Amino acid sequence: MNFSASLSARASRPRFQAALLTLLLPLLAFTGCGKRETAVERGNREGVLHLSVGSEPSDLDPHIVTGLGEAKIIQSLFDPLVSYDPATLAPVPALAERWEISADGLTYTFHLRADAKWSNNDPMTAQDCIDAWRRMLSPSLAADYAYLFYVLRGAEAFNKGRTTDFSAVGLAAPDARTLIVTLNHPTPYFLQILLNSPWRPIHVRSIATHGDPLRRGTAWTRPGRIVTSGPFMLKEWIPQQHLVVEKSPTYWDRARVRLNGVRFFPTDSIDAEERAYRAGQLHATWALPLSKVLPLQREKSPALRIDPILETYFFRLNVRKAPFTDPRVRRALALAVDRDAITANILPGGRQPAPSFIPPLLQGYTPPARRAFDLAAARQLL
């Protein structure tokens, strides 16, 4: 069984995610009314957003972390080559001001902005992107998400150690502001995957000043060390208390960054996070308990947002063990699961039945023939 589901959402750079419970308060000065100022009211006065990241971040290395909490912070610190319009999901420029795609869909040529800079004032270069992706693919780093890069020509062979010649990977920088990427095969969603944390360029040269850049845990991601490219810079990180980012003066699009900063808090559970939101400690929560979704929908709460998310949840069965070695059993199980009833009655919050692994909003998606719920047909197969 596979079905799309999520209650995650983020409140900074636009991204289609689900069930955002957010305070719809303007960032106005707090005038006071005889009560203690809440964290949200203080944030409104200071222009600082207060958010939770779930459990304590393990690291801020985009090539190492795999959690959603870390990803939220990383997305505030590191800009992607390409972003997208939140209403249409159409690609829009970010670090790359424009790009061309070859007629065969195999070659992408990105042109970096002249004003794209790192937080240490170094200009962003095409070689920075190549150096970052080489680190991501290096076998010694053993990055969990290295497989995302296998769409690049020669990337899988390099990552698996079948070759040590990185020049065989489909990356080239003919000049400082031009990056040429060659793929193994046409990939309609390639521009979308560039939004993922591992694809966001990092400043490998500064990492090397704190130890071997291919070794984990060299603490290059700590305040005062980490060099970033996004709308915010890391100001403070006190484990188990908070992590603070502040507006970057070197960010290419800083004129449109309305916040002065974001304060991230670790929380132990979704219930604790929801209570913190209601107590005025958080501006938003994307960890809304399922039991709260339907009541809020019935109330038509203006604080509740439900948006599509590019995510699929599914059960995976061991087809090497009986009875699932028999394709008739697998087919019967697929027919016997009422996905519509599950998404409507058990999993509220805008979830939809998933006829395939690929989310419908992904670029290049083609709807497959959907297998209808048919209990009688399932019984006939057994």
Has residue 160 got a pLDDT over 60? yes
| Lowest-pLDDT choice from 4-18, 215-229, 278-292, 331-345 | 4-18
* Alpha-carbon torsion, ordered 171, 174, 176, 182, to 10 deg: -20
- Check pLDDT > 90 for residue 7: no
- Give 183's DSSP letter: B
pLDDT over 70 (residue 159)? yes
Inform me whether the pLDDT recorded for 32 exceeds 60. Answer: no
What is the bridge-based pairing of β-strands 242-247 and 232-238? antiparallel
Question: Where do the domains of the chain lie, and which CATH numbers do they carry?
Answer: 7-77+216-304 (3.40.190.10), 82-210 (3.90.76.10), 313-381 (no CATH)
Q: Give the pLDDT of residue 20.
A: 40
Instruction: Give the model's confidence band at 16: pLDDT under 50 very low, under 70 low, under 90 confident, else very high.
Output: very low
- Locus of tokens 């360029």: 201
Per-residue pLDDT tens for 343-363? 888 876 678 888 888 777 777
Arithmetic mean of pLDDT, 260-286: 94
Q: What percent of the chain has pLDDT over 90?
A: 69
Distance CA 114, CA 252 (A): 9
- For residue 88, what pLDDT is reported? 83
Pairing of strands 48-52, 261-265: parallel
Q: What is the pLDDT at residue 348?
A: 67
Write out pLDDT tens, residues 220-256: 999 999 999 999 999 999 999 999 999 999 999 999 9
pLDDT at 292 (0 to 100) = 84
In the predicted structure, residue 195 carries a pLDDT above the cut 90: yes
Least reliable range by pLDDT among 200-209, 253-262, 293-302: 293-302
Residue 258 has pLDDT above 70, yes or no: yes
Which pLDDT tens digit goes with each residue over 368-377?
A: 877 789 999 9
The Cα 317–Cα 297 span in angstroms is 34
Per-residue model confidence (pLDDT) at position 34 = 58
Query: What mean pLDDT, rounded, does the chain reach?
Result: 88
Average pLDDT in the 120-128 region?
Answer: 98
Task: Give residue 166's identity as a one-letter amino acid code.
Answer: F
The segment with the largest mean pLDDT, out of 13-27, 33-47, 133-147, is 133-147
Is a pLDDT exceeding 60 seen at residue 136? yes
pTM for the full predicted model: 0.82
